Structure 1
Amino acid sequence: MRSTTPKYRFRACLAVAALGLAALTACSTTDSTTTSDGLTKVKLQLQWFKQGQFAGYLAAVDQGFYKEQGLDVEILDGGTDIVPQTVLAQGQADYAIAWVPKALASREAGAGITDVAQIFQRSGTKQVSFKNAGISGPGDLRGKKVGNWGYGNEFELFAGMTKAGIDPAKDVKLVQQQFDMNAFLAHDIDAAQAMSYNEYAQLLEVENPATGKLYTADDFATIDWNDQGVAMLQDAIWANTSKLKDTKYADQTVKFIAASLKGWAFCRDNVDKCRDITVAAGSTLGASHQQWQITEINKLIWPSPNGIGMMDKAAWDRTVTIARSTKNQEGATVLTKDPDADAYSTEYVTKALDLLKSQGLDVNGGGYTAKPVTLVEGGK
């Protein structure tokens, strides 16, 4: 019979929640259990609903890669009201997927979390405009209606404008953008935020009223923050910092990373299959959209010259610099100080990569070439 101690511990944690995130983090726990066939139960918290952005983890479940490592992984949907790094810090999940700047902000506020595998090597954020708007770079945003989602998603945009000599608070009209492209299509926004793998595809799934056919890439201009030198690190696997001191959790972390990376390698080589896995998992948008999304996600991951999940120190330093120096609409920066040494670790991903390489898996994807995807109306 399982001990009832964790229940009382959870109640005690709730009692101290008012003391702040740091206190709650120190108090929290995830009570690992095992299945009847001896697998360790693990919870992974996503930062959004199940979609191609998370296909590697869905594939690792579907293809049995987690089971190969002795894990029974439950994938938890995210949403607008869910902060994955907080769920992790509070002990309600064993691992979480989160963008680095947002997670570092939570860490500075007291969340005991560590980036243990940096999955995305490149940023997927773009600023999109109609081509006839004449916006080809950040400097052209002056005097324009500029959409952004806020909530920590705007820092690449603000850094890009600042670098171009534009004061985001004075030289543009900032528009609070919803998580869709409706205001942009209605011309209420001149330049809108879009992820290469999601909102940008949604534009290409809409009929152009001028032609009666779907919009094409030729109808739009995009600003890619990777090209502007202000890209920030995004999706990473985060673990509980204090629990990493425990050998059992540390070993589990290596296994979890290894299976997850194997899932992403599978989706690199089997896009169609991963599309079907994602749709079957309950993705809101359909098959063509998910195929586009997985293909675009692959572009953010592959090639990984140092191995998938390995941290690029230059990209980390750039992310921290932007997070410390760029102000949001309220005049605040993401971070007030540099993160400490435990903010990220390559120890566990290195071991995971060694394991996968011993199995003959290509962990670099040097020969990866994306195949064209044909979108259909509504992403069906």
Structure 2
Amino acid sequence: MRRRIRTGLAAAVAVVALGLTACSTTPQAPSSGGAAPSSAGALTPVKLQLQWVTQGQFAGYFAAVDQGFYRKRGLDVQILEGGVDIVPQTVLAQGSADYAIAWVPKALASREQGAGITDVAQIFQRSGTYQVSFADKGITAPADLRAKKVGNWGFGNEFELFAGMTRAGIAPGDVTLVQQQFDMQALLNGEIDAAQAMSYNEYAQVLEATNPATGQLYQPSDFNIINWNDAGTAMLQDAIWANTEKLSDPAYQDTTAKFITASLEGWIYCRDNPESCRDIVVKAGSKLGASHQLWQVNEINKLIWPSPAAGAGTIDQAAWDKTVEVALQAKNADGATVLTKQPDAQAFTNEYVSTAIETLKGEGVDVVGSGFTPETVTLNPGGA
């Protein structure tokens, strides 16, 4: 994902001040879809800042480029890769991008420190964060983490875990906390009992690894998963963020509605054509293997579809309030919370995504995906 990004907490001021140090442009594939370019004149240039490198996590945006959905809405979109030293919401706030993809709690931490950004479309409706352990460890719920070696990435990614432990009556001192690298080697090597993982990335990594006891790939039955959606401490993740100040400009307002419309078209395309989106991401320069990318697209689809009855990208008030509650109350090992006060009224708006949804509904597009059924993906060794 993106988790090396420094955000909020003790580093919040550094987040806001951090400049662009490694921003690069991903290759933009020519349109292969049937969408016709806008005939209204010159295209409006738009820069989208991702929160991590090219991968299936962002397949909908690459699909919107590849299939000509942005061009159809009169936009010429340039996708900027994220990286270790890139904070997408800071790039947006500094005016070096027009829109950014960022997790809600991290972006709100930046907003609390002065970044003028607004959530204009909540793409992921569910959290993709797991805590993964080998089945023989008997860790099936947060309460089972007591007295275990528990890995987490930190950098603002740990709060679902700490909220879950707090709810289960576990203090940080009741577990051995381990700073986890951004892979699953510590779990596979037996150095920790439970590892932080994203459903669409690190969890696949353990299923792509060979079980030395069998000589075959590990199977889901070899592991237990704590899903923070089930534990009640999930927080909203990938959203489209816009520049708050620029939202007072009618031209930017129009561009925002068009950008969300085309982005949703991209995600709808990936919902209905996951293999094609796998190929699009690989063609766009992903360094991950094809089976891993198909797994990613499939798992990301589960985080989006089915969407709220109002339509994909809608910011659900209850989910927003839960995220804010966790961000205000959950303390990490340093005693820090993500937020110190309630976000102001401009932190999110459904105005532009509602316009986008109505546009797509008027064109006969399914914006809810109530009949969505995920695929069964076979992973290859190493994700190849």
TM over 0.5: yes
Contact 2:129 2:197 (8 Å CA) reproduced: yes
- Within a 5 Å distance, the mapping from 1:271-350 to structure 2 comes to 271-304=274-307, 305-350=309-354
Aligned partners of 1:347, 1:254: CA distance in 2, in Å? Answer: 9
Distance apart, 1:306 and its partner CA: 2.1
Partner of 2:78: 74
Partner of 2:44: 40
- Within a 5 Å distance, the mapping from 1:10-159 to structure 2 comes to 21=16, 38-159=42-163
Query: So what's the TM-score if we normalise by structure 1?
Result: 0.90
Aligned partners of 1:20, 1:368: CA distance in 2, in Å? Answer: 37
Contact 2:59 2:297 (8 Å CA) reproduced: yes
- Within a 5 Å distance, the mapping from 1:202-217 to structure 2 comes to 202-217=205-220
Once the two structures are superposed, residues 44-63 of structure 1 have per-residue CA deviations (whole angstroms, 9 ceiling, x without a partner) of 00000010000000000000
1:134 aligned partner, one-letter code: G
Partner of 1:225: 228
Distance apart, 1:320 and its partner CA: 0.2
How many residue pairs match? The answer is 349
Distance apart, 1:328 and its partner CA: 1.6
- Within a 5 Å distance, the mapping from 1:240-259 to structure 2 comes to 240-259=243-262
1:373 matched to 2:380: no
Aligned partners of 2:80, 2:333: CA distance in 1, in Å? Answer: 31
1:171 aligned partner, one-letter code: D
- Within a 5 Å distance, the mapping from 1:136-215 to structure 2 comes to 136-168=140-172, 170-215=173-218
Partner of 2:29: none
Among 354, 360, 367, which residue is 1:363 paired with? Answer: 367
Distance apart, 1:329 and its partner CA: 2.1
Aligned partners of 2:86, 2:141: CA distance in 1, in Å? Answer: 33
| Identity rate, percent | 70
Among 258, 263, 278, which residue is 1:260 paired with? Answer: 263
Contact 2:134 2:224 (8 Å CA) reproduced: yes
Once the two structures are superposed, residues 326-376 of structure 1 have per-residue CA deviations (whole angstroms, 9 ceiling, x without a partner) of 112211111000000000000000000001111110000000001100000
2:160 aligned partner, one-letter code: E
Aligned partners of 2:333, 2:43: CA distance in 1, in Å? Answer: 47
Aligned partners of 1:197, 1:327: CA distance in 2, in Å? Answer: 26
2:273 aligned partner, one-letter code: N
SS of equivalent to 2:372: coil
1:220 aligned partner, one-letter code: F
Once the two structures are superposed, residues 120-151 of structure 1 have per-residue CA deviations (whole angstroms, 9 ceiling, x without a partner) of 00000000000001111000000000000001
Distance apart, 1:248 and its partner CA: 0.2
Give every structure 1 segment of 4 or more consecutive aligned residues whose post-TM-superposition deviation is greater than 3 Å: 18-22
Contact 2:15 2:90 (8 Å CA) reproduced: no
Distance apart, 1:21 and its partner CA: 4.6
Aligned partners of 1:130, 1:247: CA distance in 2, in Å? Answer: 54
SS of equivalent to 1:369: coil
Contact 2:63 2:270 (8 Å CA) reproduced: yes
Distance apart, 1:20 and its partner CA: 10
1:94 aligned partner, one-letter code: D
SS of equivalent to 2:278: helix
CA RMSD across the alignment: 1.4
Could you tell me which runs of 5 or more consecutive residues in structure 1 were left unpaired when the two chains were aligned: 1-17, 25-36
Query: So what's the TM-score if we normalise by structure 2?
Result: 0.89
SS of equivalent to 1:88: helix
SS of equivalent to 1:257: helix
Once the two structures are superposed, residues 261-282 of structure 1 have per-residue CA deviations (whole angstroms, 9 ceiling, x without a partner) of 0000000000110000000011
Query: Of the two, which has the highest radius of gyration?
Result: 1
SS of equivalent to 2:311: coil
Could you tell me which runs of 5 or more consecutive residues in structure 2 were left unpaired when the two chains were aligned: 1-12, 20-40
SS of equivalent to 1:226: helix
2:133 aligned partner, one-letter code: S
Once the two structures are superposed, residues 267-310 of structure 1 have per-residue CA deviations (whole angstroms, 9 ceiling, x without a partner) of 00001100000000111111100000000000000001221000
1:301 aligned partner, one-letter code: I
